[in-house]
């Protein structure tokens, strides 16, 4: 199958840390992407992982475990502007992107 | 400024009236793609193009057509729109997938309503 699973919605507090998980099930794998999408706007690129491990980019980090079909996006020092949907997408063996439905992150003061 | 543009941004039409949504990119990208986004379903790929005159079906191609006569343009055509094509549409472009520069750049979206 080509299922991408991520939580529908999460809530966190300003200044805190939140981890958004993503699991995928495909026979071929060519990388895992995370995109941010504010309501009514286009998705924008956050990260790309193709090897196992943690990639850190400022307040945002992304982790991949290929053997477990698992990734997470870690957001630190949350700000109100981080309220958005976070989309996980897996690039399959044909180099096509399979998208999850997205996780809506709500930040409370 | 590097960008992907789409027109129109909003469109309300009636069943059966042919329409075209244009997409243009100025980054010299070979790869272009059309998606639709519906609540709870995430992005679903309609068609994609690896280069000029090369197009392929994505996951949900029924009811849509595309063409790629020039590298920068990738219009989406609905020959006979139906209400189930009411959706938010995104065009995206990138360098060829799998060549190490896989970031997709998205247009601003076209919100289509078919009555």
Among A34, A97, A102, pick the best mutation site for testing chain B contact (most B Cβ within 10 A): A97
User: For chain A, what percent of residues have pLDDT higher than 70?
Assistant: 97
User: For chain A, what percent of residues have pLDDT higher than 90?
Assistant: 80
Structure confidence at residue A91 (pLDDT):
86
Among A43, A102, A103, pick the best mutation site for testing chain B contact (most B Cβ within 10 A): A43
B42 vs A30: CB contact, 8 Å cut-off? Answer: no
* Minimal CA separation from A77 to chain B, in Å: 25
Structure confidence at residue B101 (pLDDT):
56
Please tell me which of the candidates B42, B44, B97 has its beta carbon nearest to residue A87. B42
Q: Is the pLDDT of residue A1 over 50?
A: no
Per residue, the 3-state secondary structure of B42-104, as one string, reads EEEEEEEEEECCEEEECCCCCCCEECCCCCCECCEEECCCCHHHCEEEEEEEECCCCCCCCCC
**Tell me: the pLDDT tens digits for A43-80?**
999 999 999 999 998 999 999 999 999 999 999 999 99
Q: CA–CA distance from A87 to each of A70, A92, A104 (Å)?
A: 14, 16, 9
* Minimal CA separation from B5 to chain A, in Å: 11
B90 vs A42: CB contact, 8 Å cut-off? Answer: yes
Mean pLDDT of the region A9-21:
98
B45 vs A87: CB contact, 8 Å cut-off? Answer: no
């Amino acid at each position: 199958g080509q299922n991408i699973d991520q939580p529908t919605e999460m809530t966190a507090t300003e200044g805190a840390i939140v981890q958004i998980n993503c699991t995928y099930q495909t026979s071929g794998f060519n990388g895992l992407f995370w995109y941010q999408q504010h309501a009514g706007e286009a998705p924008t690129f956050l990260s790309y992982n193709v090897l196992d491990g943690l990639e850190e980019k400022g307040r945002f980090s992304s982790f991949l475990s290929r053997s477990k079909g698992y990734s997470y996006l870690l957001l630190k020092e949350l700000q109100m502007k981080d309220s958005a949907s976070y989309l996980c997408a897996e690039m399959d063996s044909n180099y096509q992107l399979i998208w999850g439905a997205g996780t809506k992150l709500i930040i409370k003061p | 400024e590097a960008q992907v543009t789409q027109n129109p941004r909003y469109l309300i039409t009636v069943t059966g009236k042919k329409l075209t949504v244009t997409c243009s990119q100025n980054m010299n990208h070979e790869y272009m793609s059309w998606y639709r986004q519906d609540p709870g379903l995430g992005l679903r790929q309609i068609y994609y193009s690896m280069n000029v005159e090369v197009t392929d079906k994505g996951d949900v191609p029924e009811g849509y057509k595309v063409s790629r006569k020039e590298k920068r343009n990738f219009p989406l055509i609905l020959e006979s729109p139906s209400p189930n094509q009411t959706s938010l549409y995104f065009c995206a472009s990138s360098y060829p997938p799998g060549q190490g520069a896989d970031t997709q750049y998205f247009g601003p979206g076209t919100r289509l309503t078919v009555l």
